[in-house]
Amino acid sequence: MAEAEAEIHTEGRRKLVVGLGNPGMEGTRHSVGMAVLGAFAARLGGADCWRSDRHVSGEVILLEVQQTRVVLLRPRLLMNVNGVSVAKAAGKYGIKPEDILLVHDEMDKPLGKIALKHGGSARGHNGVRSCVDCLQADVMLRLRVGIGRPSGKTSVDRHVLSRFTSEEQKVLESVLVQSVDLLISQLSQSDSPQDSRPASSPAGGRQAAQRREGWS
């Protein structure tokens, strides 16, 4: 309990990075945000450091990127209620909506394309809509990871809940690297979101972030 209190009440700038998805369906297109967070944790040597936290209905890792303290969150609730977990984590760690970054799938972009979006409409994404509703804000930064639209007569539901093909997996590997580079670059910035710009892999990216077991 003392450790949890120390984590909650530490001083300094904090960010919350969330991989939206469905628990138990991490390999599907709809849960690609979770894949990005998994790759992010692995890059920083924390792949085995996820711990379940019933108070936030999810799994978390505490990190430090440059001077920024970062909470990684994988909700353990279904996509359409992911926002409940995000709001709980934001409350526990004292993180404002403008310091939350959501990583999620985006059908309007083809596989292989990623982009940052500063706030705005959920544009039909149920996970993002849940976050907007539960946080009562739409200012969260979003890393949109393209998964493309369904082909032929495939329904949207079937498409987003399907797994990537072997050929798509090759593209996804590159997407995960680019996404992690972009996250590290974004989290390393000390100024406002308006100062963000397209990121390339930062020099010493692996050294720029340090895993933390607890904050004190």
Per-residue model confidence as pLDDT tens digits over 78-132? 999 999 999 999 999 999 999 999 999 999 999 999 999 998 888 889 999 999 9
The pLDDT, as a whole number, for residue 46 is: 87
Question: Is 30 tagged catalytic?
Answer: yes
Among 30, 104, 125, 159, the one annotated catalytic: 30
For 67, which DSSP code? T
The whole-number average pLDDT for the span 38-58 is 94
Bridge partner residues of 75 (DSSP):
58
Looking at 3.30.470.20, 3.40.50.300, 3.40.50.410, 3.40.50.1470, the CATH number of the domain 2-211 comes to: 3.40.50.1470
Q: Whose CA is closest to 72, among 53, 80, 84, 81?
A: 53
Say yes or no to pLDDT of 171 above 90. yes
Predicted TM-score of the model (pTM): 0.83
> 105: Cβ–Cβ under 8 A, 6 or more apart, which residues?
20, 29, 30, 31, 32, 33, 125, 144, 145, 146, 147, 160
**What is residue 26's predicted lDDT score, i.e. its pLDDT?**
87
Q: What is the pLDDT of residues 103-118, one digit of tens each?
A: 999 999 999 999 999 9
Residue 51 one-letter amino acid = R
Residue 211 DSSP one-character state: E
Residue 161 has pLDDT above 80, yes or no: yes
